Structure 1
C-alpha cells in the first residue's frame, strides 16, 4: 500500500498506471457483477469526480459542506448552454461548466467560510437550497424550471455553424472530435476526465499546499498562531472542490444532454458526504470506492424485485422460496436503502476510516503473516544447519 503522505515520483507513476488500468478495464472485470453496462460505468466516473473533489475539502480540511449539489447543477446548466450556444463538442462544455461553477464557489465560499464547524455546514446547505429554488422557479428563463433545460434543433450553436457543421434532422448529441459521447465511448470520455481529476488531486495531496490543509484540519487555531492566514487556503480549496463538482455536472450533461433542478437538491449533497466517509475521507482512492459502492447499490440492488428473487430460488420448495423472498425483499429492490444503511453503520462502527482502513488493515495482516513465515523459515534453516 502506497503511503498517501510521502511517495516518490516513481511510486506516483505506478499509482496512476495501476489506477488507469483498473478503470479502463472496468467493462471487463465488472461483467460478472452485472455492472458493465455503459450508463452505470459513466455514473461511476462522474460521481467519482464529485467525490474526489469533495474529499479535497472535507478530507483534507475537515470542513463539512452540504452544498456541493449546487455546483453540480450549475455545471450541468452551463454545459447545456454551451451546447446550445457554441458547439456540441464536449471539451468547451466541460471547461465552461467547470469555470462557471468555480466562480459560484468563490462567491458562496466568500460568505460561508466566515464561519466554521456546524455553522459552515448550515450555510452551505442554505445556499444549495436557495440555488435549487432559484433554478426551479425564479430563473426559469435560464433553467426552464421544472421541465429542465434541453437541446433543440433551433439552437444557434455558433461555433458549429462557423466551421460548417450543419444541424441534421435528428437532435444532435455531444461528441468529441467526431466520437459520440454515448455508450462505451461516453464511458471512456468520462474515464479520461476522471483520471485527469484524480491526478490533480494526487498532486495536491503530495504538495506543501496539501500539507497546510492537513494542518488546518489538525489545529486551525495553532496555524493562525504560527502566522499563517488560513482563509486563502480554505477559499482556494473550496473553489477547487466546487470546480470538481462543476466538472461532474458538466459530464452529466454530456452523457444526458438535460439539466434539471433536481440535481441541486440537498440529497445529492448528502450522497457525496456518504461516498467520502464510506470510502475513507482523507485518502486518495477511498472516495472513488465509496462512490462505486453507493451507485452499485442504487442501480443493481434496487433492480432485484420479487420476480427476480423467486426465479433465483425456484429450485427450492415454493413455501421456502416465498419465505426467503419475503425476507430478502426487505433489503433489495425498494429496500436497498436499508442494506446501504446497514453497510454504512457497520463501516462507521468497525472501520471509522472507511473501506480504505479495512483494505490497509488487511494488507498489514498479509505483510505481517508473510514476514512471520519468512522469519520462521530462516530460524528453521539455521537450526538445520546447526
Structure 2
C-alpha cells in the first residue's frame, strides 16, 4: 500500500492483527532459521521500536539524522539509574527514559532543525559525538565512564524497599510486577511494547499530522509558501522519534542492566539509518523488516567460525573443504559485514525503496498474473449465445 492511499480502519485493524500474530508466534516460526532464542528475538523487538521511531523522522520528513544513538544512550542510562535508585520494576525505568530522551531530543532539535539537508545531518552527528565523549569521560560520576553504569548490591531502590521487597544475596533482575525481563518472558514484554509502539506509529502515519510530514518531505518550500510553519511539525516528529529511541534504550537496559557509552557512538546511529533504508524508508513495516534482517545477519552469520564451516564441508576431501571454508569464511563469521554490505549494495541499486519495494513488485506481478489468467479463462468459456 502506498503512502498516498487512504487506508480504512478495517485495513489498519488487519495490519495490527497480522503484526501481533507474527510477533507473538516468533518462537515457533523462527525455529527453522535458528533464531528462536530469547536474546535475539528481544533484539528484533528493541531495534524494531528504534527503527519505526526513526522512520517517523527520516521516512516521513526526509530529514536524515546521524545522532539518534544519543537518545538510545540516554534511555539506557536513565533506565539503569531508575533500577539503582527507585525499583527493579521496568515501568518507572521506561517512563523516565522516554521523558528524558524526549527532553534531550527537544534540546538537540531546537538547534539542529534550524538547518536542513546535509547541515542538519552533520549537526545531529556532532551532538551525538559530544554526547558520547561526555558519557565516556566528562560525566564519569553519572555514567561510570568506559566501565559503564551497572547495578550493585548497595543500590538504594527506595520504591522496592518501601514495598517490602528485600535485597537478595545476588543482583536482582529487571521485572514487570514479578515477570522477569529476561528469557522468553522478557521477549513477550518487548513484543507487547513493540505492538503498542507500532499502533501509535500507525496512528501517526495515518493522521493529518503524518500527512503534513510527508508534505514536508515532498516539498517543504511549497508548504512554507502556502502559510504552513513547518518547524513545529518537524520539532514534534524529532521529539517523538527521540522518545522511541529512548524506549528502545531502556529495553536494552532491561535485557542487560548495563549502560555504556558505546551505545552513543556514531556507528549505532548509522545502524538505524541502514536498517530503515534496507527495509524501506517511509513505509509501514519496512523498518521492522530491516531490523530483523540486520540483527539476523549480525547474530547468525557472525557465528559461523572456521570450525563450523569445516564441519559443514566435511563431506568433501580435506584440502577441498579447507578451500571452500576459506572462501565462505570471507562472508561469514568476522566477515559478516561484507555480506551485509553486498546485500545493502544490491538492494540500493535494484530496489531503491528497500525490501518493501521488492515485496510490492512481487505482489503486483502475482496479482497481474492472476488477473491475466482469469481473463484468459473467461475468453475461453463459450458464451450462452454460442451455446
TM class by shorter chain equals over 0.9
Is 1:63 matched up with 2:63? Answer: yes
Who is 2:87 aligned against? 87
Who is 2:106 aligned against? 106
Who is 2:264 aligned against? 264
Tell me, in whole angstroms, the C-alpha distance in 1 between the residues paired with 2:2 and 2:27. Answer: 26
Structure 1 residue 313, shift from structure 2 partner: 1.1
Is 1:74 matched up with 2:74? Answer: yes
Aligned ranges for residues 148-297 of structure 1 at < 5 Å?
148-297=148-297
Structure 1 residue 193, shift from structure 2 partner: 0.7
Tell me, in whole angstroms, the C-alpha distance in 1 between the residues paired with 2:5 and 2:138. Answer: 46
Other structure's SS at 1:191 match? helix
Q: Deviations over 1:166-211 (max 9, x none)?
A: 1111111100011111101111101111111111110001000000
Who is 1:19 aligned against? 19
Deviates more, 1:375-384 or 1:61-70: 375-384
Q: Deviations over 1:52-77 (max 9, x none)?
A: 00000000000000000000000000
Structure 1 residue 264, shift from structure 2 partner: 0.3
- Return structure 1 stretches of 4+ with deviation > 4 angstroms: 1-4
Tell me, in whole angstroms, the C-alpha distance in 2 between the residues paired with 1:176 and 1:330. Answer: 43
Q: Give the structure-2-normalised TM-score.
A: 0.98
Gaps of 5+ in 2: none
Does the 8 A contact of 1:4 with 1:283 survive in 2? no
Is 1:332 matched up with 2:337? Answer: no
Structure 1 residue 6, shift from structure 2 partner: 1.3
Structure 1 residue 339, shift from structure 2 partner: 0.3
- CA gap 1:123/1:142 in 2 versus in 1, 3 angstroms: same
Tell me, in whole angstroms, the C-alpha distance in 2 between the residues paired with 1:385 and 1:320. Answer: 70
Tell me, in whole angstroms, the C-alpha distance in 1 between the residues paired with 2:260 and 2:330. Answer: 31
- CA gap 1:280/1:251 in 2 versus in 1, 3 angstroms: same
Other structure's SS at 2:381 match? helix
Structure 1 residue 319, shift from structure 2 partner: 2.3
Q: Deviations over 1:251-294 (max 9, x none)?
A: 00001001000000000000000000000000010000001101
Structure 1 residue 32, shift from structure 2 partner: 0.7
Structure 1 residue 380, shift from structure 2 partner: 1.1
Does the 8 A contact of 1:2 with 1:11 survive in 2? no
Structure 1 residue 320, shift from structure 2 partner: 2.0
RMSD: 1.2
Who is 2:38 aligned against? 38
Structure 1 residue 382, shift from structure 2 partner: 2.9
Is 1:140 matched up with 2:146? Answer: no
Deviates more, 1:295-304 or 1:319-328: 319-328
Structure 1 residue 153, shift from structure 2 partner: 1.5
Tell me, in whole angstroms, the C-alpha distance in 2 between the residues paired with 1:275 and 1:351. Answer: 14
Tell me, in whole angstroms, the C-alpha distance in 2 between the residues paired with 1:272 and 1:385. Answer: 63
Tell me, in whole angstroms, the C-alpha distance in 1 between the residues paired with 2:170 and 2:5. Answer: 51
Structure 1 residue 93, shift from structure 2 partner: 0.6
Tell me, in whole angstroms, the C-alpha distance in 2 between the residues paired with 1:171 and 1:2. Answer: 49
- CA gap 1:143/1:370 in 2 versus in 1, 3 angstroms: same
Does the 8 A contact of 2:52 with 2:201 survive in 1? yes
Does the 8 A contact of 2:86 with 2:157 survive in 1? yes
Does the 8 A contact of 1:105 with 1:242 survive in 2? yes
Structure 1 residue 3, shift from structure 2 partner: 6.5
Does the 8 A contact of 1:86 with 1:156 survive in 2? yes
Does the 8 A contact of 2:88 with 2:175 survive in 1? yes
Gaps of 5+ in 1: none
Does the 8 A contact of 2:3 with 2:283 survive in 1? no
